[in-house]
Chains A and B, each alone.
Chain A
Amino acid sequence: MKFQNLTIQEMRQKLKSGDLTSVELTRACLARIKATDSQLNAFITVCEEEALAAAAIADQQLAAGNAELLTGIPVAVKDIFNTLDVRTTCGSKILDNYVSPYDATAIVKLRQQGAVIVGKLNMDEFAMGSSSENSAAGAVRNPWDQERVPGGSSGGSAAAVAAGQVVATLGTDTGGSVRQPASHCGVVGLKPTYGRVSRYGVIAFASSLDQVGPVAGNVEDCALMLGAVAGYDPADSTSVDCPVPDYLENLQEGVAGKKIGLPKEYFIDGLDADIKQAVDAAIATYRQLGAEIVEVTLPHTDYSVACYYLIAMAEASSNLARYDGVRFGVRKDNGEGLIGMYQQTRSAGFGDEVKRRIMLGTYALSSGYYDAYYLKAQKVRTLIRQDFQNVFEQVDFLLTPVAPTPAFKIGEKVDDPLQMYLSDIFTIPTNLAGTCGLSLPCGFSQEGLPIGLQLIGKPFAEAEILQAAYAFEQATDWANKVPTL
């Protein structure tokens, strides 16, 4: 059997029984990456030596009977995670030479669980984008159709899993950056509740919205990955000190008697016909599984893109002030003094999309405009959160499309930033409200492109949407489809 068809749970069994060693598994994984990545460009850095060393240690632990959740399993992470002694670029020229002096908390947790980190995944520069085209390392390609984008910003994280390069990955989701690429690549991606996973050591984009999320080939593996990285971290004052449930324990719970809300604002004219059909079929499946379906309303949905981009750009302009050529990164200096050095460094180091967001964010925060733009957006954010609080008094979770269209063509939206931003309309509100959401495969377009279904849960109700996703996955066979590569 090819390793790329195994799940994490199957790998664990084979490692435990001695059918397979971690070194063998890691070599197979590295070989698969070597064979396929010239087509996909999903990886920025492959850590062959470090991975094989970690695999050898994992084999010793397995032999001694000391297996943790991920002992000996090869995984990969978005290049936004600080990873000790490994190049960490965040998809940017400005961090081209940056080698991290420490591990992000999520990386520490993966290592504690015995995971073998095989590399760093490609992404939109500083996680700003919905297509993974804005990367200093070049665009990522969709494994289902290499002329198309894999989604973004965690495009590498989703493409690598879809292509069987690794069994699971970590991404980050600020406005849909895990769920939208998972949808476009036909894999499972989860954005946990804000505060569920530590952001320490995750290169910051918009600090009040950023959240770490797992991507995997099926719901059970996604639940396992979440369990591995979730939890309070004193190093992240916004992580929440509440117990982490065992996400695998009641996965088979089912949805009988559950009340599922369909927000009418997410089923608008202009929604792609294939997507509408696939989502309608999913609704019928849930009905058959015993759930009650009710229409609900999130009246401020239409304002979420404007609200999100003002807040995210304002926070980004502040977070990205640190890239000044002083402490790390690539410095450009042609002898025009300190301010000149800052300007040359930043102008040469940032890509167009990042500059655009820094500019808009700086403008929105600048004297005379703060109240009209930033403060106004923060107030609208309150209204959007209230929408969710209201519907969660009526239903257990929400069911929606992930994106208004399947994966678009590479280059199609690069010259029209607003069109690109509007493609995030169904994923953004979850981040603004601070709640959790996941994307799972629910069908294909007529052109053979994967379509994702989004389940949005109450704050800290990841277990509940994972159970609902698992029930759907068991009742359908979308998760078993893989692209040919």
Chain B
Amino acid sequence: MKISQNDVEHVARLARLSLEPDELQTMTRQMDVMLGYVEKLNELDTTGIEPMAHAVPMSNAFRKDESQPVIGIERALQNAPASGENCFKVPKVIE
């Protein structure tokens, strides 16, 4: 096994997902198959090969630091599950 059920539970916590017991089992099995498959890449010697983050050879794209029109508070909040006083509302963070 490339990955244990405990590992999968840990990754789920990192990804902010909670998995039901049966989901956890299926996920472990399927992740194991995929991780086994991608092992294939280790057949290749990549010593000295530059990693490629991007298809376009470009460095940072800079723009002038000037103010531009923005979407506005009303538009920005229109899809908020909860809002008030021009803010997004979330469950209490600090007790």
A-B contact pairs, 15 of them (CB 8 A): A208-B54, A300-B44, A305-B37, A306-B38, A309-B38, A326-B90, A329-B81, A337-B92, A342-B16, A350-B17, A359-B27, A378-B52, A380-B46, A385-B55, A433-B55
A-contact bits for B51-68, CB 8 A (1 contact / 0 none):
111111010110100000
A225 lies within 8 A of chain B by Cβ? no
| Chain A contacts with B in 343-388, Cβ cutoff 8 A | 343-344, 346-347, 350, 355-356, 358-360, 362-363, 366, 373, 375-383, 385
- Chain A residue with Cβ nearest B83: A327
B1 lies within 8 A of chain A by Cβ? no
In the complex, besides A380-B44, A382-B52, 5 extra interface pairs with C-beta distance below 8 angstroms are A302-B40, A344-B18, A355-B23, A379-B52, A381-B51
Q: Are B80 and A343 in contact (CB under 8 A)?
A: no
B42 lies within 8 A of chain A by Cβ? yes
Q: Which residues of B contact A208 (CB under 8 A)?
A: 53-55
Q: Are A326 and B46 in contact (CB under 8 A)?
A: no
Q: In the complex, what distance in Å separates the CA atom of A425 from the CA atom of B49? A: 23
Instruction: For the complex formed, measure the closest distance between the CB of B67 and the CB atoms of chain A, giving whole angstroms.
Output: 15
Given contacts A237-B61, A337-B92, A359-B11, contact A385 B79 (CB under 8 A): no
> Which of A95-103, A112-120, A178-186, A246-254 touches B?
A95-103
Q: Are B91 and A347 in contact (CB under 8 A)?
A: no
Q: Which residues of B contact A209 (CB under 8 A)?
A: 55
Q: In the complex, what distance in Å separates the CA atom of A381 from the CA atom of B11? A: 25
> Considering the complex of A and B, which 10 residue pairs feature the smallest CB-CB distances, nearest first?
A434-B55, A378-B51, A331-B81, A328-B79, A237-B61, A379-B46, A194-B55, A101-B75, A382-B52, A306-B38
Q: Are A195 and B55 in contact (CB under 8 A)?
A: yes
B81 touches which one: A102, A330, A335, A360 (CB < 8 A)? A330
Q: Are B79 and A98 in contact (CB under 8 A)?
A: yes
B34 touches which one: A234, A326, A366, A418 (CB < 8 A)? A418
Q: In the complex, what distance in Å separates the CA atom of A402 from the CA atom of B71? A: 41
- Chain A residue with Cβ nearest B14: A362
Q: Which residues of A contact B23 (CB under 8 A)?
A: 355
A291 lies within 8 A of chain B by Cβ? no
Instruction: For the complex formed, measure the closest distance between the CB of B26 and the CB atoms of chain A, giving whole angstroms.
Output: 8
Given contacts A238-B54, A303-B44, A337-B91, contact A327 B80 (CB under 8 A): yes
Instruction: Count contacts on A: residues with CB < 8 A to the other chain.
Output: 70
B16 touches which one: A237, A346, A434 (CB < 8 A)? A346
The interface size bin for chain B is 35 or more
A54 lies within 8 A of chain B by Cβ? no
A325 lies within 8 A of chain B by Cβ? yes
- Chain B residue with Cβ nearest A330: B81
Q: Are B33 and A418 in contact (CB under 8 A)?
A: yes
Q: Are A359 and B46 in contact (CB under 8 A)?
A: no
- Chain A residue with Cβ nearest B56: A195
A479 lies within 8 A of chain B by Cβ? no
B30 lies within 8 A of chain A by Cβ? yes
B15 touches which one: A306, A358, A382, A433 (CB < 8 A)? A358
Interface hub of B27, B34, B42 (most chain A Cβ within 10 A): B34
Q: How many A-B residue pairs have CB under 8 A?
A: 160
Q: Which residues of B contact A340 (CB under 8 A)?
A: 91
Q: Which residues of A contact B38 (CB under 8 A)?
A: 306, 309-310, 373, 377
| Chain A contacts with B in 420-443, Cβ cutoff 8 A | 431-435
- Chain B residue with Cβ nearest A306: B38
Q: Are A325 and B81 in contact (CB under 8 A)?
A: yes
Q: Are B91 and A382 in contact (CB under 8 A)?
A: no
Q: In the complex, what distance in Å separates the CA atom of A202 from the CA atom of B86? A: 26
Q: Which residues of B contact A381 (CB under 8 A)?
A: 51-52
Instruction: For the complex formed, measure the closest distance between the CB of A125 and the CB atoms of chain B, giving whole angstroms.
Output: 15
Instruction: For the complex formed, measure the closest distance between the CB of A450 and the CB atoms of chain B, giving whole angstroms.
Output: 29
A359 touches which one: B17, B56, B93 (CB < 8 A)? B17
Q: Are B55 and A417 in contact (CB under 8 A)?
A: no
Instruction: For the complex formed, measure the closest distance between the CB of B41 and the CB atoms of chain A, giving whole angstroms.
Output: 5
Q: Which residues of B contact A307 (CB under 8 A)?
A: 41
Q: Which residues of A contact B18 (CB under 8 A)?
A: 343-344, 347
Q: In the complex, what distance in Å separates the CA atom of A433 from the CA atom of B30? A: 28
Given contacts A101-B76, A363-B31, contact A382 B40 (CB under 8 A): no
A360 touches which one: B14, B16, B31, B42 (CB < 8 A)? B31
Q: Which residues of A contact B17 (CB under 8 A)?
A: 343, 346-347, 350, 355, 358-359
Q: Are A360 and B79 in contact (CB under 8 A)?
A: no
B44 touches which one: A234, A324, A383 (CB < 8 A)? A383
Q: Which residues of A contact B42 (CB under 8 A)?
A: 376
Q: Are B55 and A360 in contact (CB under 8 A)?
A: no
B51 touches which one: A234, A328, A375, A432 (CB < 8 A)? A375
- Chain A residue with Cβ nearest B57: A434
Given contacts A238-B56, A328-B79, A343-B16, contact A376 B88 (CB under 8 A): no
Q: Which residues of B contact A376 (CB under 8 A)?
A: 41-42, 46
A56 lies within 8 A of chain B by Cβ? no
Q: Which residues of A contact B27 (CB under 8 A)?
A: 355-356, 359
Q: In the complex, what distance in Å separates the CA atom of A359 from the CA atom of B30? A: 11
Q: Are B79 and A97 in contact (CB under 8 A)?
A: yes
| Chain B contacts with A in 6-46, Cβ cutoff 8 A | 7-8, 11-12, 14-19, 23, 27, 30-31, 33-35, 37-38, 40-44, 46
Q: Are A99 and B31 in contact (CB under 8 A)?
A: no
